[in-house]
Amino acid sequence: MMPKTLVPNPRQAALLEAVREQGSASVEALAQRFQVTLQTVRRDVGLLASAGLLARFHGGVRVPASTTENIGYLQRQRLNHEAKQRIAQAVAERVPDDCSLIVNIGTTTEAVAEELMRRRKGLRVITNNLNVAAILSDKPDFEVIVAGGMVRSRDRGIIGEATVDFIRQFRVDIGLIGISAIEADGTLRDYDYREVKVARAILESSRQVWLAVDHSKFNRPAMVQLAELSEIDALFTDTVPAPAFRSLLGDAGVELIVANGTAAGRAHESVAAHSRGGHR
């Protein structure tokens, strides 16, 4: 229901509905869709955001975020789908053949799994994501190990203390994680403390930690702290982050890989098959 403080005009109402359908949108895309200027979209977005109907991020707008609950799984699958595909391609290009990985819960990591099927061979993958396991198990030369624990019905993620204990048995070349939010101070956050505990175990069991997130995760709130930027080695995303985040990444020594092929920040040595160990 619209707040009494704002009665959207027909264009603003249509813009609001478009963002709600997609989950998020860039200012440029909205301007093209409604055939208006960028200034007009920014003015509309400002009014809708002030009314609490939308939330702005660098270069775009999204549905308002909650610190306690993520948006639905099916909506997350549609949200920034093309961006996630580009991120997935960039990650898959960097993964060596014949290496070991742990892959966690998330629609971005599922997109990575699809790309790994097409591009890589001889992988050994441990995962607490049944969707990732289903994707990768179709490739005969992949060995897929599924973590034990409780299956979360909404997204087929496996969580709980049994999952944490299972993950801690392993030491892999690459831990690939997705998360829900990166706060303005660079803190990595998520919504479910049980999922966060599993992700922490992945960090501790990986020689290199790679984070895959689309642009909408920057400056987004979430309740549970997972890690600091200094605990990851590389961040894969689809657009160049704002200068403040680039500065945080540089200070933390994190390699930034933008899905269009450009990179910024301090470079890390590539992970080789059966890595001899990173900085962990």
Quote the pLDDT of residue 39: 92
pLDDT at 228 exceeding the cut of 60: yes
- Are the C-beta atoms of residues 110 and 229 closer than 8 Å to each other? no
What integer pLDDT is reported at residue 6 of this predicted model? Answer: 63
pLDDT at 268 exceeding the cut of 60: no
Do the bridges between strand 188-190 and strand 234-237 make them parallel or antiparallel, or are there none, so unpaired? Answer: unpaired
Per-residue pLDDT at 167: 96
User: So what's the pLDDT on residue 17?
Assistant: 78
Does an H or E element contain 247, and which? helix 243-252
pLDDT greater than 50 at residue 67: no
Q: How many CB atoms lie within 10 A of CB 11?
A: 14
Average pLDDT of the residues of the chain: 83
pLDDT band at 65 (very low <50, low <70, confident <90, very high): low
Instruction: Please name which of 220, 262, 241, 184 lies closest in space to residue 79, comparing C-alpha atoms.
Output: 220
Which residues are bridge partners to 24 per DSSP?
Answer: 62
User: What does DSSP say about strands 224-227 and 181-182: parallel, antiparallel, or unpaired?
Assistant: unpaired
How do strand 234-237 and strand 172-177 relate by DSSP bridges? unpaired
- Cα four-point dihedral sign 20, 23, 27, 32: negative
Is CATH 3.60.110.10 correct for 10-64? Answer: no
Ranges of each domain in the chain: 10-64, 74-264
Q: What is the pLDDT averaged over residues 20-37?
A: 85
Calpha distance 91→259 (Å, rounded): 9
pLDDT at 242 over 60: yes
C-alpha separations of 60 from 49, 240, 280 in Å: 11, 13, 36
**Do 10-64 and 74-264 come out as alike in CATH topology?**
no
pLDDT surpasses 90 at 230: yes
Scanning 79-206, the segments in alpha helix (DSSP H) are 81-94, 107-119, 130-136, 161-167, 193-204
Domain spanning 74-264: which CATH class is it, in words? alpha beta
CA distance 279 to 193: 26
Strands 24-26 and 60-62: antiparallel
Q: State what percent of residues in the chain have pLDDT above 70.
A: 84
The residue that leads in pLDDT, 224 or 6, is 224
pTM equals 0.69
Q: What is the pLDDT at residue 80?
A: 55
Q: What is the DSSP string of 122-137?
A: S-EEEESBHHHHHHHT
pLDDT for residue 264 = 43
Is the distance from CB of 70 to CB of 76 less than 8 angstroms? Answer: yes
